[in-house]
Amino acid sequence: MRYQPPYTITSKIIYLVSQISESIGRLSALIQIEDSLKLRKANRIQTIQGSLAIEGNTLSTEQITAILNDKPVIAPPKEVQEVRNALKAYEEIHNWRPELELDLLQAHHTLMAGLIDEIGQYRHGGVGVMSGDRVVHMAPPASQVNRLMGDLLHWLAEGNEHPLIKSSIFHYEFEFIHPFADGNGRMGRLWQTLILSQWNPIFLNIPVESLIYQNQKAYYDALQASTDRADSVPFIEFILQMILDAIVASSTSDQVTAQASDQDTVQASDQVKRLIEKMEHKEYSLSELMSLLDLSHRATFQKNYLNPALEASLIERTLPDKPKSPKQKYKLKNVH
């Protein structure tokens, strides 16, 4: 009997699939009239920064851009290697088929080269998912990995589910199995992107990973909720919402980034959109804006959210002649 991952189709999942399908059409038309090469480069950097940041990599989009352009970067060698590997993996993604085990193993080899010993092969020992000093998920024993991955890849090849749903189920099941000694998170996200790109190549240019990074706790909570329920619906709903939000952000990035540089484009395409979507038509202090986004680091907020939004004329100061005034507040400007 063919393996069938446990999941439920909810009304929210149906709604999200519908919204994503509609939004993808609009985004496809938009990209045709934009500088597609520039957009691909910016989104690729944003994707890699988000996915690696989830795993603890501290390199900024500026540093990743420098590595992409073969410029020297002062950073921990391991983190630089992670970026180089990820850049290479996303360059080679067109060559892989998601249902082929050999391609999956090759992708892991590319993504983890020089970082661990067990590259391009399933793990030989036990592994658990930690949250601080607590084990939140103990993966199946290594002796079961070959069988479980064989079943999952066969289901991926033969299943009739919508690609949006199928890719999300695969992502969850992959993380549950945790087939590799390390690199499972970034591999799961890479493989979902690959599955979606087989349906619509535009997904190679949508930086979903950066939104997952911004909602990292919710990402892990959704994984855990699916495990607790033995049903991947919480994770499917979460990841589809991230995909939809990323598409909407990409669709509106042209008005945010028209006055920005390549590196600014990487940041502004979703972070500024997230800020203005949270704001109502009233005045906010700096701390109130940060609270809207559950952010606590003022310098990061100003660099990645506030300043790009001001430069793009999406928000404005209430005291424009006194930018550093302690009474300074901010409000939406000409946002419809």
Is 130 annotated as ligand-binding? yes
C-alpha dihedral (33, 43, 233, 162), degrees to nearest 10: 40
Question: Residue 86 to residues 183, 248, 271: CA-CA distances in angstroms?
Answer: 11, 25, 22
Q: Establish whether 219 is an annotated binding residue.
A: yes
| Residue 189 labelled as part of a binding site | yes
Q: Is 254 annotated as a binding residue?
A: no
185 annotated as belonging to a binding site for a ligand: yes
Residue with tokens 């930690």: 130
| Residue 108 among known ligand-binding residues | no
Active-site annotation holds for 108:
no
* Integer Cα distance of 147 and 155 in angstroms: 12
- Whether residue 21 is annotated as binding a ligand: the answer is no
- Residue type at position 25: G
Residue partners of 96: CB distance under 8 A and separation at least 6: 103, 104, 106, 107, 194
| End-to-end Cα, the chain, rounded Å | 53
> Known binder of ligand: residue 187?
yes
How far apart, in whole angstroms, are the C-alpha atoms of residue 101 and residue 32?
A: 34
On whether 138 is known to bind a ligand per the annotation, the reply is: no
Which of the residues 171, 178, 281, 297 is marked catalytic?
Answer: 178
Residue 182 is labelled as binding a ligand: yes
Tell me if 70 is assigned to a ligand binding site: no
Please report which helix (H) or strand (E) contains residue 176, including its range.
helix 163-177
Distance (Å, whole) CA 171 – CA 168: 5
Burial of 329 (0-12, 13-18, 19+ CB in 10 A): middle
Q: Is 317 annotated as a binding residue?
A: no
298 annotated ligand-binding residue: no
Joined tokens for residue 167? 């890719």
**CA–CA dist 5, 104 (Å, integer):** 19
Catalytic residues: 178
Annotated binding site: 129-137, 182-189, 219-220
Annotated binding site for ATP: 129-137, 182-189, 219-220
